[in-house]
Chain A
Amino acid sequence: MSAETGSATGVASEGRTYIDQFPGEARLVRTAFWSSFVALGIGGLMGLVQVLHRADVLRVIDSTDYYAVLTLHGVLLALTFTIFFLVGIFTWAITTSLDRGLEDLRFTWAWYGLMAGGTALAAIPILGGLTDAVEMSASVLFTFYAPLQAHPLFYLGLALFVVGTWLAGLDWIRSYLAWRRENPDERIPLPTFMVLTTLGFWYLSSLGVALAVVVFLLPWSLGIWEQVNPLLTRTMFWYFGHPVVYFWLMPVYMMWYLMLPKVSGGKLFSDPLARVVFVLFLVLSTPTGIHHQYLDPGIAEGFKFIAMTNTMFLLLPSLLTAFTVVASMEHGARQRGGTGTFGWLRALPWRDPVFTGMALAGVMFAAAGFSGMVNAGMNINYLVHNTFWIVGHFHLTVGTAVALTFMAVTYWFLPQVSGKRLWNRSVALAQVVLWFVGMVLMSNAMHRGGLDSVPRRTAEPQYRGFEIEPTLGTMAELDAQIVLGGTILFVSLVLFLVVVVMTGLGDRVDDLPANEYAETLSGPEDAPLVLDNLKLWVGIAVVLVVLAYALPLAAIVDRGGLFGPGGSPFPVFVGCLEPTVSASVAFLGDHLPAAVSGWW
């Protein structure tokens, strides 16, 4: 502890790396990271297949199989890559800041096993959608909206994965409680505080998707229920689907608060404000999900307005973070001899991939904030809802703020958890810069295309009866930007994997920097004690969720019934039922005559 700053954060490792301090935990973190990187590699390859396919540059799969590829891309990147990395970072944060190992590593490996097993189970039917050899499919995309129906294994895998994250949370809470018994009067160390607040809204929100899957979708896919209420399960999905983006984002914010000031050469500007930010996310993350349903029939305008208001207030913690991050970087730059109004920018360690990756991710997140403000605007949302604009938006958030930060901090974490030197810093630096360049191109063109109504989630955004005309430039130019950007992103991804594999193949060294995170200019002694009253904040979060969701859910069930006003399941098994004919033609052939005779 560094007494002269009065800060409780800071050096806890006495010059040792993480693997020296906690070898067992380091092995878990390493394994979680590798699981995350495998998902990133496969998911990223699927992304390349998609950009080439959509632009009609290279179509290596049938358009009917595109949606299996897209499901794999969405599930592997949005859930597997992000959350496996998160459990690695959070395990590091808890053990480092409490300076104690996890209570029982057998339990730790049990939740890891549940998460990995769940992922594998869900992946089987998704991959089954790509081949005719197995009669399984789960081409239902990341959102799995009923009545599109996946194979039961998909839902079972998802449920196990979520339960795995719950047990991981219990593991960290157990560590915290054990620490608390020994340190009854200490402030909660900032990294642990961040983990606990994040867990608060994670339990609250993931309960929604777990209930949707276990109560409705899994039994329905097994034939126990004949039908479900599509609006209800969709609302339960978004009850989880918005907070989950903060679940990815909170480890990123943690890195921006704890690591970015340190690698900039300075200190975190304010511990109290960091706590305020995480409390705001705990309280406000969940009662916002209906903003994904602004254009849904069956939900009253007033409920949408409430979600909109909560969403706008959720800008506050992100705007505060923007301030703290930039202020901390400036402090670091001035410590390094930087001067001038903007001249200090030159004094930042731009040759360090850890710094540069995080800083560029932050820049892109600012841009994402602006497109997010547009999305949140309830009435402007008509223009952009479900267009390519949205895809551009979340490739800046989860695809850059999260992914690029994770890749950048990997270059710091990997030596810490493996005891090996980073293989090549120049390649690592090129990698993070390439990601930024690729995403600028791709995301820009996606945003622009979306404004001209180019839809998301389609294999062929080319139509027979009309053409989508960009108001600015040409479709060919937008396609070119997306293909070029996507290709650069894939090259960057390959470089990342090369660096981590080559680092893994290296030998143990004993001159690595110690396991540390940033000290603070204004420490926890400046933070009111009430901030650490987690029961209070969780209580407020629950009240807000009840206020925002009780009436809409009651109205949906009242209108349509728990199991919906009717409608049959729509299994997405087509690719395997009709192996020889082009699936969509076969599908239309099977279903249209019956449907048409029903109408006329």
Chain B
Amino acid sequence: MNVHTYEKVWLGAAMVLIVFFIASVTYGAIGAGVAMVDDSEETIDPDTLGEDDRFGDPRVEQVGDDEYEVYAVARTFVFQPDPIEVPEDSTVTFYITSGDVIHSFSVVGTNANVMVIPGEVATMTVEVDEPGEYGIVCNEYCGPGHHDMEGLLVVQPEDEFELEDDE
């Protein structure tokens, strides 16, 4: 096949670019440790979340020094619990499921962003450092009140933080 020299050079450069992209994503996964949401959780019946240990009572739990777990439910058109309160400088693992349709759980201004699919439990571990109030939006269309669906993630300064059930 007759391929022009310039075209060969371009082809080579394109292949280098593609391999570089794949390498950088691989580095992101292995080196920088950006894990993808996966299938590590069992499926769950969205109609019986009320009877579930974790999602029957959506809440924040401390599981270690500076380690917290959040069991959250997305439903038309609310997030539970709301607000979600965690202390600064902690590692927070979110377990999120849906009671009805597909939603998302997306923390504004961060890359904490995950799809919430009925029947599945999405897990995502994030490092929480800066204290402040972060908006949570549903960025997947979920019905006529979709635009009203919002929540709040409150990152408390360490000395002010208290878990509700400790009170």
Could you tell me which A residues sit within 8 Å of B by CB distance? 63-64, 66-67, 70, 139, 141, 145, 147-148, 229-231, 234, 269-270, 272-273, 293-301, 304-305, 308-309, 312-313, 315-316, 319-320, 323-324, 327, 373, 376-380, 382-383, 385-387, 452-453, 455-461, 463-469, 522, 526-528, 555, 559-560, 564-568, 570, 572, 574-575, 583-584, 587-588, 591-592, 595, 598-600
Contact = CB atoms under 8 A, between A and B. Distances in A.
A272 B1 contact: yes
A591 B118 CA distance: 17
B1 A527 contact: yes
B87 interface: no
Contacts of A316: 14-15, 18
Given A296-B117, A559-B39, A599-B80, A566 B46 contact: yes
A63 B102 contact: no
Contacts of B68: none
A586 to B, nearest CB: 9
A64 B14 CA distance: 46
A439 to B, nearest CB: 23
Given A297-B123, A453-B137, A319 B10 contact: yes
Contacts of A141: 141
B143 A570 contact: yes
A223 B160 CA distance: 53
A320 B11 contact: yes
B86 interface: no
A323 B46 contact: no
Nearest to A457: B141
Contacts of B145: 64, 584, 587-588
Contacts of B75: 595
A231 B44 CA distance: 13
A341 B45 CA distance: 65
Interface in B21-71: 21-22, 24-25, 28-29, 32, 34-39, 41-50, 56-58
Nearest to B33: A379
B158 interface: no
B118 A230 contact: yes
Contacts of B37: 294-297
B28 A460 contact: no
A231 B37 CA distance: 14
A298 B143 contact: no
B7 interface: yes
Contact of B115 (A295, A570, A584, A598): A295
Contacts of B142: 148
29 contacts: A147-B102, A231-B117, A234-B117, A269-B7, A273-B7, A297-B121, A297-B123, A298-B39, A299-B38, A300-B39, A301-B35, A313-B18, A323-B10, A378-B25, A382-B112, A386-B113, A387-B106, A452-B108, A453-B135, A460-B147, A460-B148, A465-B150, A466-B134, A468-B135, A522-B4, A567-B45, A567-B119, A574-B144, A598-B49
A507 B15 CA distance: 52
B40 to A, nearest CB: 9
Given A301-B35, A383-B113, A574-B143, A376 B21 contact: yes
B114 interface: yes
A315 B80 contact: no
B146 A459 contact: yes
Contacts of A148: 101-102, 141-143
A598 B99 CA distance: 11
A559 to B, nearest CB: 5
Contacts of A296: 37, 115, 117, 120
B90 interface: no
B14 A273 contact: no
Nearest to B32: A379
B64 to A, nearest CB: 23
A518 to B, nearest CB: 17
Contacts of B109: 452-453, 468-469
Contacts of A319: 10, 14, 17
A230 B102 contact: yes
A297 B39 CA distance: 6
Interface in B78-126: 78, 80, 99-102, 104, 106-123
B18 A312 contact: yes
Nearest to A387: B139
A304 B29 CA distance: 12
B120 A463 contact: no
A294 B122 CA distance: 12
A297 B2 contact: no
A386 B104 contact: yes
Contact of A308 (B1, B25, B141): B25
A382 B111 contact: yes
A301 B14 contact: no
Contacts of A592: 78
Q: 6 closest pairs, A vs B, by CB?
A: A566-B45, A466-B135, A455-B139, A584-B145, A297-B122, A379-B34
B50 A599 contact: yes
Given A296-B117, A323-B10, A379-B28, A570 B1 contact: no
B73 A385 contact: no
A453 B36 CA distance: 19
A373 B147 contact: no
B130 interface: no
Given A463-B137, A572-B143, A231 B120 contact: yes
Given A234-B102, A300-B38, A588-B145, A599 B118 contact: no
B133 interface: yes
Nearest to A302: B38
Contacts of A459: 146-147
Contacts of B119: 229-231, 298, 560, 564-567
Given A139-B144, A295-B104, A566-B119, 8 more contacts: A67-B143, A270-B4, A295-B114, A309-B22, A316-B15, A323-B6, A457-B141, A600-B57
A346 to B, nearest CB: 22
B47 A599 contact: no
A115 B81 CA distance: 47
Most buried by B among A66, A312, A469: A312
Contact of B106 (A272, A309, A373, A453): A453
